[in-house]
């Protein structure tokens, strides 16, 4: 056993930066720059960086997080401001953020804004006080300049210093509606998103534009707007029942998102209507339960985990000054066909109240 190794076997088992420097025959400053990924490390040849990192691994060197922060005046933390913690949409985005940050040895603090401007203001100040170096917001409309580099997932308002990551909603609407048209659907009901959702207006404008191009009528009786911010399938349930109560025939529903689509399917099934034989349903997002719903949900897929990774990478590149600010990053949607859509009935029957389910079953 070498003398150096014996030094590592001291009473408390601590391996110091000096020991790493002695192993590779370099100065503590050079080793510190590489191990802390500071700007000075860029001048160190790559093969030398690899030697230093290998020595640190061999010695099981663990730098003091707090000492490093004091030395380089960094916290290696960002703030993530989400609508909810653990909801179907935001949890996938946060999963992508976490995966990327873990690879880069960054931490993140998460708060839930719940679409409350006062809460948002309070939390942003709290995160600043804790030394975060940037923000990622999820499903939040930013209405004022931010004090730090910021990436807004589903952000739509142009703001200096804020990079918006946005889905191509026109493409998404085209994929969904052309699928229904190809299946012979002409009478299509629509769910517009809650005004609290930052995607609501852009998505609805895209749907109206594409529907006009495809010759799809959009009578007011076949349009409902969601209300509230319930993150569960209960969101769509009462509004689907409202559609049925209007007695206006339709053979398909394009829901605002997957949770409202799943709630709608439940309402249709309770009314004795079959999905997709009587009514086809298309969702939006492709959250995890979409595949496991009965029937499995045809939906527009947003690559939510990938979006989280892109948001984290973009923010870190801004913090590290490796990239210039860009106003927007566009994300392409995909379309996933499952079991909730089928060819339209030749002559659709008017949807009935839940209490008329026996009549529906008898007719079918």
Integer CA distances (angstroms), 56 to 8, 16, 28, 33, 170, in order: 12, 10, 12, 13, 51
The pLDDT of residue 328 is 96
Predicted TM-score (pTM) of the model is: 0.77
- Give domain 169-303+335-363's CATH number out of 3.40.50.2300, 3.40.50.970, 3.40.50.2020, 3.30.470.10: 3.40.50.2300
Percent of the chain surpassing pLDDT 90:
65
What whole-number distance in Å separates Cα of residue 88 and Cα of residue 94? 10
Could you please state the CATH topology (level 3) that the domain comprising 3-72 is classified under.
434 Repressor (Amino-terminal Domain) (1.10.260)
pLDDT at 4: 42
Return the pLDDT at 191.
98
Quote the CA–CA distance of 98 and 110 in Å, as a whole number. Answer: 11
Give the model's pLDDT for residue 339.
98
| CA dist., res. 262 & res. 285, Å (int) | 12
End-to-end CA distance of the chain: 83
The answer to whether 298 and 340 have CB atoms below 8 angstroms apart is: yes
Q: How buried is 273 (Cβ within 10 angstroms: 0-12 exposed, 13-18 middle, 19+ buried)?
A: buried
Range(s) within the chain of domains with CATH label 1.10.260.40: 3-72
- pLDDT attached to residue 111: 92
Task: Give the CATH number of domain 77-167+305-332; options: 3.90.870.10, 3.30.465.10, 3.40.50.2020, 3.40.50.2300.
Answer: 3.40.50.2300
Residue 65's pLDDT is what?
A: 57
Portions of the chain given CATH number 3.40.50.2300: 77-167+305-332, 169-303+335-363
Q: Quick one: which of 285, 316, 317, 311 has its CA closest to 298?
A: 285
Provide the β-strand partners of residue 110.
Answer: 80
27 contacts 73 by C-beta, under 8 angstroms: no
Here the tokens at position 276 are 């997709």
Tens digit of pLDDT for each residue in 67-115? Answer: 566 555 678 999 999 988 888 999 999 999 999 999 998 999 999 887 7
pLDDT at 363: 36
* pLDDT for res 85: 84
Structure confidence at residue 352 (pLDDT): 46
What pLDDT is attached to residue 364? 38
What residues in the chain have per-residue pLDDT under 50? 1-11, 349, 352-364
CA distance 162 to 151: 6
Q: What is the pLDDT of residue 358?
A: 38
Dihedral sign (CA 344, 349, 350, 355): negative
């Amino acid at each position: 056993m070498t003398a150096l190794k014996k030094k590592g076997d001291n009473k408390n088992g601590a391996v110091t930066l000096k020991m790493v420097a002695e192993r590779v025959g370099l100065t503590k400053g050079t080793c510190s720059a590489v191990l802390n990924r500071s700007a000075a490390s860029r001048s160190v040849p790559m093969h030398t960086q690899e030697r230093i990192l290998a020595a640190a691994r061999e010695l099981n060197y663990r730098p003091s997080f707090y000492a490093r922060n004091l030395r380089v005046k960094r916290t290696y933390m960002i703030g993530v401001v989400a609508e909810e913690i653990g909801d179907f949409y935001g949890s996938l985005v946060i999963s992508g953020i976490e995966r990327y940050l873990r690879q880069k040895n960054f931490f993140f603090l998460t708060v839930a804004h719940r679409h409350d401007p006062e809460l948002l203001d309070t939390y942003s100040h709290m995160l600043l006080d804790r030394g975060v170096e940037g923000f990622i917001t999820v499903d939040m409309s930013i209405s004022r300049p931010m004090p730090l580099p910021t990436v807004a997932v589903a952000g739509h308002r142009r703001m200096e210093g804020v990079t918006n990551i946005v889905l191509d909603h026109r493409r998404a609407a085209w994929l969904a509606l052309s699928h229904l048209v190809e299946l012979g659907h002409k009478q299509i009901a629509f769910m517009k998103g809650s005004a609290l959702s930052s995607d609501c207006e852009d998505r609805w404008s895209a749907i109206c534009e594409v529907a006009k191009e495809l010759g799809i009528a959009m009578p007011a009786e076949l349009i409902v707007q969601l209300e509230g911010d319930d993150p569960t399938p209960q969101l769509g349930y009462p509004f689907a029942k409202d559609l049925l109560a209007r007695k206006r025939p339709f053979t398909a529903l394009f829901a605002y998102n997957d949770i409202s689509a799943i709630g709608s399917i439940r309402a249709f099934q309770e009314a004795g209507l079959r999905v997709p034989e009587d009514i086809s349903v298309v969702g939006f997002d492709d959250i995890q339960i979409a595949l496991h719903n009965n029937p499995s949900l045809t939906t527009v897929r947003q690559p939510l985990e990938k979006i989280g990774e892109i948001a984290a990478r973009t923010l870190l590149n801004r913090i590290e000054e490796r990239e210039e600010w860009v106003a927007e990053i566009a994300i392409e949607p995909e379309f996933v066909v499952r079991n909730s859509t089928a060819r339209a009935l030749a002559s659709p029957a008017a949807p009935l109240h839940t209490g008329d389910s026996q009549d529906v079953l008898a007719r079918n």
